[in-house]
């Protein structure tokens, strides 16, 4: 018999950026743990988001797909409000949507900086704010922000990304402190290098070069699979995490222990 403390039965979750990759794996994983799950992504990825929705429905859980652009504050408020109305409540928000630009710091433009920080940090804050308003009215909830191992260590050619994810980690602490009085826990997950469609599309190095980097920097010896992050999300969304808040849970194959 599964441990009841990790059951999400009766809960409603929203996962941003869940058409593919880490977001999709977490959305399906939360459904496997018992939650009904709202899937959301950019308008141009709605077809993929609907595929995620059908996977969740195949598990016997309720699911709908929503267009949610984290750069559009009006859209954030409207989409999250619609989720709460359609499902009757909102118990869990997973702030997964994010971008990265790999470029030497001396070549980063203002547009590059604004795009990464607005998506990865500003968008996370305003999604959390919109969700928290609904959670306060219902007496509590869970917010899980997807940060990175690069929230606590550095990497060359990723200055805006490192800045944004470090910001997410400390934003998580700030919101956790402020919202615990409402019964809302706020935590973050820090994934290490993970095989996602976005990462694979951006990778320009030969496989043997990537593997040599993993051999040096990643004790696990390989990039992670998105599904290896699901357990962390289920725990932080579950009743078992009622006293866990303001925490950055690093799941990085050992990257940050070297």
CATH number of the domain residue 74 falls in? 3.40.50.720
* Contact in structure between 39 and 55 (CB atoms under 8 Å): no
Cβ contact 76:95 at 8 Å: no
Q: Is residue 74 part of a domain?
A: yes
For residue 113, being part of any structural domain is answered with yes
Instruction: Classify residue 222: in a domain, yes or no.
Output: no
CA distances to 3, 77, 238 from 58, rounded to whole Å, are 23, 29, 22
The mean-pLDDT minimum among 70-74, 88-92, 204-208 falls in 204-208
Look-up: residue for tokens 């994010």?
98
Catalytically annotated residue among 3, 66, 161, 235: 161
Tokens of 114: 């604004």
Q: Is residue 208 part of a domain?
A: no
3-class secondary-structure state, position 210: helix
Residue 155 has pLDDT above 80, yes or no: yes
Instruction: Identify the domain containing residue 144 by its residue range.
Output: 4-194+228-246
Residue 182 among the catalytic residues: no
Q: What's the chain's average pLDDT?
A: 96
**pLDDT for residue 18:** 98
User: Which among 202, 233, 253, 170 is positioned nearest to 16, based on CA atoms?
Assistant: 233
pLDDT at residue 102, rounded to an integer: 93
Residue 252, domain member (yes or no)? no
Residue 110 counted as domain residue? yes
Structure tokens at 239: 């009743």
For residue 100, CA distances in Å to 89, 96, 205, 207, 224 come to 32, 13, 17, 20, 18
With beta carbons less than 8 A apart as the criterion, state whether 124 and 168 touch: yes
Any alpha helices (H) in 12-91, and if so which ranges? 21-32, 46-57, 73-87
Per-residue confidence (pLDDT) for residue 8, from 0 to 100: 98
pLDDT band at 1 (very low <50, low <70, confident <90, very high): low
Alpha-carbon distances, residue 191 vs 16, 44, 178, 222, 241 (angstroms): 16, 25, 25, 13, 19
Kindly state whether residue 207 falls inside one of the protein's structural domains.
Answer: no
Number of domains in the chain: 1
Pick the closest to residue 6 from 228, 230, 187, 234 (CA basis).
234
Nearest alpha-carbon partner for 152 in 169, 137, 177: 169
Rounded average pLDDT over 226-248: 98
Task: Write phi, then psi, for 67 (nearest 5 degrees).
Answer: -80, 120
Angle at 96 between CA 24 and CA 203, to 5 degrees: 75
Q: What is the DSSP letter of 207?
A: H
What is the reported pLDDT for 240?
98
Task: Tell me if 240 is assigned to some domain.
Answer: yes
């Amino acid at each position: 018999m599964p441990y009841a403390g990790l059951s999400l039965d009766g809960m409603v979750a929203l996962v941003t950026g869940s058409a593919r990759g880490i977001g999709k794996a977490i959305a399906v994983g939360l459904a496997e743990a018992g939650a009904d799950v709202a899937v959301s992504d950019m308008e141009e990825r709605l077809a993929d988001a609907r595929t995620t929705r059908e996977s969740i429905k195949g598990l016997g859980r309720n699911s709908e797909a929503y267009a949610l652009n984290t750069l559009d504050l009006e859209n954030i408020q409207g989409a999250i409000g619609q989720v709460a109305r359609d499902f009757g409540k909102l118990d869990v928000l997973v702030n997964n949507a994010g971008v990265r630009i790999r470029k030497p710091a001396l070549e980063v433009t203002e547009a590059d900086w604004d795009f990464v920080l607005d998506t990865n940090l500003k968008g996370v804050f305003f999604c959390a704010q919109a969700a928290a308003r609904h959670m306060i009215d219902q007496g509590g909830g869970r917010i899980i922000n997807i940060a990175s191992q690069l929230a606590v260590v550095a990497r060359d050619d990723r200055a805006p990304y490192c800045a944004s994810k470090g910001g997410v980690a400390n934003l998580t602490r700030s919101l956790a402190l402020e919202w615990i009085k409402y019964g809302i826990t706020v935590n973050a997950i820090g994934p290490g290098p993970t095989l996602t469609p976005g990462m694979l599309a951006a990778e320009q190095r030969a496989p043997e070069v990537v593997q040599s980097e993993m051999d040096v920097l990643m004790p696990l010896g390989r990039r992670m699979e998105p599904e290896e992050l699901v357990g962390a999300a289920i725990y932080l969304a579950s009743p078992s995490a009622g006293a866990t808040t303001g925490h950055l849970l690093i799941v990085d194959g050992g990257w940050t222990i070297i």
